[in-house]
Amino acid sequence: METITITGIVIGTAIGLVIGLVITKILEKKRGSEIINKAKRTASNRVKSAHKEAESIKKDKILQAKERFIELKSEHEKVILSREKKIADVEKRLRDKESQLSSELDKNRKLNKELATKEADYDYRLDFLEKKQTEIDKVHKRQVEQLEVISGISAEDAKSELVASLKEEAKSDAMSYVQDIMEEAKLTAEQDARKIILNTIQRVGVEQSIENCVSVFNLESDDVKGRIIGREGRNIRAIESATGVEIIVDDTPEAIILSCFDPVRREVARLSLHNLVTDGRIHPARIEEVVKKTEKQIQQEIIEVGKRTVIDLGIHGLHPELIKTVGRMKFRSSYGQNLLQHSREVANLCALMATELGLNPKVAKRAGLLHDIGKVPDTETELPHALLGMQWAEKYGEKPDVCNAIGAHHDEIEMKTLYAPIVQVCDAISGARPGARRQVLDSYIQRLKDLEDLAFGFTGVQKAYAIQAGRELRVLVESSKVDDAKASELSFNISQKIQNDMTYPGQVKVTVIRETRAVNVAK
């Protein structure tokens, strides 16, 4: 009985499980169909929306293509219209030219007729004048014959006597005039010469002497001055004797002054002092040793500078003595301008100018480099530097074109080649460059200062800077006082003021800068 009951329970349980499984399958199938239907509906909706979006994109693209077509068409029409306009302008100019040519042809025909008429009239008048001249000659001949009969001498003899008397009278007057001029010159020459020399010395003598004859040697401390002077001044006397330079030890802190007309000697003294102070052993024997060694170094440096300059400029075949002279230019200045830099500038300018004129640029560059070699003589001479340089160039085998250009660049001799005026012009260009020489530098700096001061005369200007060698003026204004519109107006007013009140080469660009700044500090 119990077995039957357990079996029934098991069977009932199994039946229940089967029924539950069936129900679960039915429910899952129903749910899956719903999900599929929902997915189908979603897919169909998305397909419909995609179709709608595609249609809208298609319409947009069509519209864009139409607009682009219209734009291209309008541009093409504009190009065609512009070409037609150009063609019409050309045709109009051709018609105007034809009408002008026809009018000129008519004028030429009229002028030819007038010229023919005038030529005929001129021929008639010329014949008439020739007849009159023949008559006048006959009358003059009869008068001369009558005068010869009356005076008893011929016309040629009378002319010779008159010319001789006039010559004697002219010689007498000329000698008297020359004698008066010579006496006056003798009386006033010495006085005028003294006046010129005194004026020259008072104006530029002191400045030029200090500028070109003095070098300053800086010291680490004033204690070194005593060691340079030495016991009873024996060290400083030894330095002056070995270098030929006067050494001035005064109250100037941490510096002594080297004074000498020869810049090479000053450089030898400066380097010798530097070596002695660095080494610390300063006594007469050591001084002589260091000075001799420094002189050799300076001579070697002069040769190296000359060789490097010649190589940089591409000049070949220059005599070693001329190369050495070129190197000595490094230690020489002319009116505050370094002579070697000036000669290099002149050489490059001469080469460019000769190229433009169709001449040999190498010859011009050679003459430009050597044009001032007479300014660095080894010994004193009374010749002008141009003639001395020409003599050196001839001595060391330079060509006649180069020698003539060197000697004639200050008009001491006649210019015989085209290279001479080129060197003369380029020498003047290099010396006149703004800032190259002292006289030009002063006026150049004053012009820049005048430009800046002119800008400060306007309201709202905070700062002003003259840049680009005075070709541009930059003006900084206060943003609270000058707005953008006034900035443009200010730029125009300053440019007009410069144009009306100042004299300047080329053009001056006026730039007005206005800025607003907001500054805060995070603490």
pLDDT at position 297 is: 86
Q: What is the dihedral of CA 109, 110, 113, 118, to 10 degrees?
A: -140
**Are the C-beta atoms of residues 325 and 343 closer than 8 Å to each other?**
no
Would you say residue 425 lies in a domain? Answer: yes
DSSP secondary structure letter of residue 469? G
Residues 471 and 424 in one domain: no
| Residues with Cβ within 8 Å of residue 198, at least 6 apart in sequence | none
The DSSP bridge partners found for residue 461 are 477
> How open is the CA angle 283-289-295, to the nearest 5 degrees?
125
b/e map 344-381, b = 16+ CB within 10 Å:
bbbbbbbbebbeeeebebebbbbbbbbbbbbbbeeeee
This model's pTM is above 0.75: no
Residue that finishes a domain, picked among 281, 299, 317 = 299
Residue that finishes a domain, picked among 405, 432, 459 = 432
d(CA 119, CA 152) in angstroms, rounded, equals 48
Residue that finishes a domain, picked among 276, 299, 322 = 299
Query: Which long-range contacts does 216-223 make (Cβ < 8 Å, 24+ apart)?
Result: 216/255, 216/256, 216/257, 216/258, 217/255, 217/256, 217/257, 217/258, 217/270, 217/273, 217/274, 218/254, 218/255, 219/254, 219/255, 219/256, 219/277, 220/254, 220/277, 221/254, 222/253, 222/254
Residues 340 and 421 in one domain: yes
Would you say residue 78 lies in a domain? Answer: no
- Residue 186 is which amino acid? K
Residues 453 and 414 in one domain: no
What SS3 class is residue 248?
A: strand
Residue 352: which CATH number?
A: 1.10.3210.10
Residues 405 and 476 in one domain: no
Comparing C-alpha atoms, which of 371, 334, 328 is closest to residue 349?
Answer: 371
Give pLDDT tens digits for 26-55.
Answer: 888 888 778 888 888 888 888 888 888 888
Residues 406 and 453 in one domain: no
**Helices 234-243 and 284-313, packing angle to 10 deg:** 30
Residues 428 and 361 in one domain: yes
Q: Return the number of other C-beta atoms located less than 10 Å from residue 11's C-beta.
A: 10
DSSP secondary structure letter of residue 479? T
- What's the domain range around 219? 211-299
Domains in the chain, number: 3
pLDDT at position 204 is: 40
Question: What beta strand segments (E) does 312-370 contain?
Answer: 333-334, 337-338
pLDDT at position 206 is: 42
Would you say residue 148 lies in a domain? Answer: no
Would you say residue 92 lies in a domain? Answer: no
Residues 351 and 425 in one domain: yes
Would you say residue 29 lies in a domain? Answer: no
What SS3 class is residue 493?
A: helix
pLDDT at position 312 is: 87
Would you say residue 91 lies in a domain? Answer: no
Residues 345 and 428 in one domain: yes
Residue 488: which CATH number?
A: 3.30.300.30
Give pLDDT tens digits for 1-23.
Answer: 556 677 778 787 888 888 888 88
> 255-259 and 246-248 as β-strands: parallel, antiparallel, unpaired?
antiparallel
Residues 418 and 462 in one domain: no
Residues 220 and 271 in one domain: yes
Residues 423 and 500 in one domain: no
Residue 223: which CATH number?
A: 3.30.1370.10
Q: What is the dihedral of CA 490, 493, 499, 505, to 10 degrees?
A: 10
Residue stretches of the chain with pLDDT short of 50: 197, 200-211, 438-440
**Are the C-beta atoms of residues 494 and 455 closer than 8 Å to each other?**
yes
Residues 268 and 219 in one domain: yes
Q: How far is residue 280 from each of residues 224, 228, 287, measured CA to CA in Å? A: 9, 10, 11
Strand order in the sheet with 472-477: 461-467, 472-477, 509-513
Would you say residue 312 lies in a domain? Answer: no
Comparing C-alpha atoms, which of 221, 239, 246, 232 is closest to residue 276?
Answer: 239
Would you say residue 398 lies in a domain? Answer: yes
**Are the C-beta atoms of residues 388 and 381 closer than 8 Å to each other?**
yes
| Residues with Cβ within 8 Å of residue 56, at least 6 apart in sequence | none
What SS3 class is residue 217?
A: strand
